[in-house]
Each structure stands twice: as structure tokens, then as C-alpha cells.
Structure 1
Amino acid sequence: MLLKNQLSIKHIIKKPNNEKETALFLMIHGYGSNERDLFFLKKDLPENFFIISIQGIYSIGIDKYSWYDIDFSNEKKFINILQAQKTIEKISFFIDEAIQEYQLKENQVWLCGFSQGAILSYVLALKKPNKIKKVIALSGYLEKSLLPEKMNTNLYTDLEFFISHGKYDTVIPLNWTKRGLKFLKKKKILSLHYKEYESGHTLNSLNYQDLMNWIKEKHIYSE
């Protein structure tokens, strides 16, 4: 595991066993964490993914990073919209950069985000449906203020989502996630796997097991 600096966002990678062109599995951590947070998933992921986990742009402490500022005391201004928009553009650029640098499949990107990373994953998928095909949104929600004003629903027919949330999450309320589900269904994104778990703002063992089963099922189908 090596922190790489040669591209526009610092990241760590796990290369696949084979050298042929493969799909990118991009991990985006949550607020106050770092690029190693989700990297433990690699031990159970299909071996022919090219796994990249990126480090947040803003340092908020020793080995702690964020993608944009959060005001936990103000629901209406929960996120710094301007920072988040800039970060979305930066990650979007990084995806293209990584595909070229590591010679990956252009239209088979998987996103896996937790909390703040899940919020970004929703928006990135809806902005780049030509590249992103699978989205794993763990303990996050869909922030509509970050979406494009005009959305062509015909572009989203291939998008597939795994969405999970803890029933007792005190960081991101469960009803925020449910609002996003309604929005996605309205946009005719019908491939949605959604489940709630007996947990807080975390990934419990049952959630983990369901996630891995979903990934393996979708991975076999997409090969």
C-alpha cells in the first residue's frame, strides 16, 4: 500500500491479478477519515478490480481529511455547496486521469462512498452516467442542490445502486436517505438495492455481508 502523488488527488491502489484492461473500483471516505478507511474492503472484493482509494482534499487534523466543510448544527447549510461542487469536479477529473494512467475500462467505473463519500458518489454518478455504472452509498444521502439543473433520465437506465443506512444514525438522518430514494425513482433509476440496518453511522457485519454479496452478483453479471 503506497500513497501515490503523481495524479491530481493522493491515493492508494491495489492492482488486479491480471494485467488486462479492468474496471476501476473507487473508494471515497467520509468526513474526518482518510484513504485507508474503506481500503479494508479489498480483501473480499473480486480480484480483477483495480482498486483506488482517494484521500480527502482538506486536512482537518492529524491523518484526518474531508472533501468539504460541514456545519453539523445547521441542517439547511449542512454542507459547503461551493467546496462540494469544486470537489465533485476534481474527483470527476481524477476518474478520467486514473482511467488513462492505469489503462482501465472507460465505462465500467464503480463508486463506493461512506457518509460524505456517499453524498459525492450519488452526484458523480448522475453527472457521469457514461462512465459510472455502479454506486455503493453507505450511510449517506442524495444532496439535490449539487445536481445539474437539467437531467436526461434516458442516460440513467444502466445505473445501479446499493444503498444502506443505519436505523439509529444520528449523523445523517434516515429520512434524508429516503428522500433521495424517491428522487431516484422519479428519475426512473429503478435498479436500487436499499436496506436499513440495526446500527448507527457505521457499517455493521450484516450490512457488510449484504454489500459483498451484491458486489459479487453484479460483478459476475457485468463481466
Structure 2
Amino acid sequence: MTADYTVEWTRRESEREGTPLAVLLHGHGANERDLLGMVPGLPDELTYASVRAPVSMGFGAYTWFDLDVERLAYSSAAARQAVEDLWEWLDSVRGQHSSVTLIGFSMGMALATSLLRIRPEAFQAAVGLSGFAVDPQRGEGIEDFFNDEALSSHKIPFFWGRDQADPIIPEEMVEYTHKWANSTVNLTKVLYAGAGHGVVPQEISHVGEFLRMEVLGRRVSAQR
């Protein structure tokens, strides 16, 4: 049975067929409305689906899996289950679209990069904002989950935006993510001073340019 998610779509179902899909994955303590503010600055040729994380924290806040915010500690088994459930939903909708791109903020970036690492062939490109990639050495239950060797052979375009002074993501997570990205994806990394743990207008503009080049540009090339 496919996992049930609350999803905000930017197109009616009858208008989605054949369009490139971009899946928006919000951060810890947010909801499916959080990243929709980016959409006006992104290419309108894409269909955007903003997914609400399944674990309620109350008062309209949700998380993909339980997180110790002070230490950014989490259960690897819970993270794995969250990724597997999200893949089930994605697999149920992706056939309607010409391609699938992932856009994740903070914990949503952890979900996006994890999806790349289990099904690299399923994705056109990915965007990570102020987040991190899951280190499989941090806990049990996820060591055999990722296939980074397969991912590195695909060299998927990946845009990573962050503030070097991000007060939330610890340096060791940034270092791991940087090492991982350099060895597995076609990385575009941009730093945004003053963004903190957030997204700034210039960053949205750059993400838009990235999508036009790596999603829409490749789509046009494939049609020639």
C-alpha cells in the first residue's frame, strides 16, 4: 500500500501529464506550505509538488523522522523508513512526468540526497538548501541502504546552497556532505553570506537558473 501524504500541487492532475516534476521537501518543524514561496521564482514549465512530512509535531509542524534538535541526533532506522515510504509515493506519481527533480531544505535535503542514493536512475537533478546528507556510519540500520557507487556513475547535477555561518547544521555534517557530494554527484556549490539557516532571493534565482539548464535544457536537447 502506497504511503499517504498531504501534497500541494501547482497544477491540476489533468495538466500534469508529460511535465517535468519537482518535489519540494521541507525541513524539520515546517509543513508543505513552507517551500511554496520559492515557486514564483522558479521555471513555470515544471509541475511542483510540495509534500508534507508524515510525523506531526503539533500546531501545524511536521517532521520526516524524530530528531534531537540540540544534537541533530536521529535514528538511522527511522530515517531509512522515511526514505522508503517517500519513494513509494514518488514511484506512484513519477510515471506521469517527463522527469523528476528533488528540492530539499534542511532535513528535506537529507531526504532528497538519500533518495538519490537508493534510486539514482529515477532522478534528473537535485537541489539541497541549508541541509546535509545522511552519514551511514552514524547509526545502525542504514549501512547497506545507499548505493553511492551507482550514484557516482550517473553524475546527477546537484545544486547545494548554504551559508558558511549556518547556525544549525554542525561542521562535521557539512564536511561529510561536501566529501560525499564531491565523489558522487555533479556538484554546483554556492555560499550565501547572511542567509543563516534559510533561503535568500539570490539563491532562489540561482536555483531557477539551475533548473532551466539541467532540467528544461536537457529536455529540449533530448527532443531534438
Distance 1:68 1:150, change over 3 A: closer
Q: Which of the numbers 100, 114, 122 marks the counterpart of 1:123?
A: 114
The amino acid that maps onto 2:125 is K
> Are residue 151 (structure 1) and residue 144 (structure 2) matched?
no
Counterpart of 2:24 in structure 1 is 27
The separation in 1 between residues aligned to 2:191 and 2:150, in whole angstroms, is 29
Higher helix share: 2
Matches within 5 A, 1:1-223: 8-15=4-11, 20-74=17-71, 78-100=73-95, 103-105=96-98, 108-145=99-136, 146=142, 148=144, 151=147, 153-156=149-152, 157-187=154-184, 189=185, 191-198=186-193, 199-223=195-219
Where does the alignment leave 5 or more consecutive residues of structure 1 unmatched? 1-5
RMSD, matched Cα: 2.3
Distance 1:7 1:153, change over 3 A: closer
Provide the secondary structure at the position in 2 that maps to 1:38: helix
Contact 2:117 2:148 in 1 (8 A): no
The worse-fitting range, judged by mean Cα deviation, of 117-126 and 91-100 is 91-100
Task: Identify the structure with bigger relative contact order (alpha carbons < 8 Å, sequence gap 6+).
Answer: 2
Deviations along 1:186-210, whole A, 9 cap, x unmatched? 34x3x10001111210011222222
The separation in 2 between residues aligned to 1:82 and 1:139, in whole angstroms, is 23
The worse-fitting range, judged by mean Cα deviation, of 116-125 and 153-162 is 153-162
Contact 2:41 2:205 in 1 (8 A): no
Provide the secondary structure at the position in 1 that maps to 2:65: coil
Count of matched residue pairs: 210
The amino acid that maps onto 1:64 is A
Provide the secondary structure at the position in 2 that maps to 1:94: helix
Distance 1:19 1:143, change over 3 A: closer
The separation in 2 between residues aligned to 1:150 and 1:170, in whole angstroms, is 28
The separation in 1 between residues aligned to 2:11 and 2:3, in whole angstroms, is 16
Distance 1:204 1:25, change over 3 A: same
Contact 1:9 1:54 in 2 (8 A): yes
Percent identity, please: 22
Tell me by how many angstroms 1:7 deviates: 6.7
Tell me by how many angstroms 1:149 deviates: 5.4
The amino acid that maps onto 2:53 is G
Counterpart of 1:3 in structure 2 is none
Provide the secondary structure at the position in 1 that maps to 2:161: strand
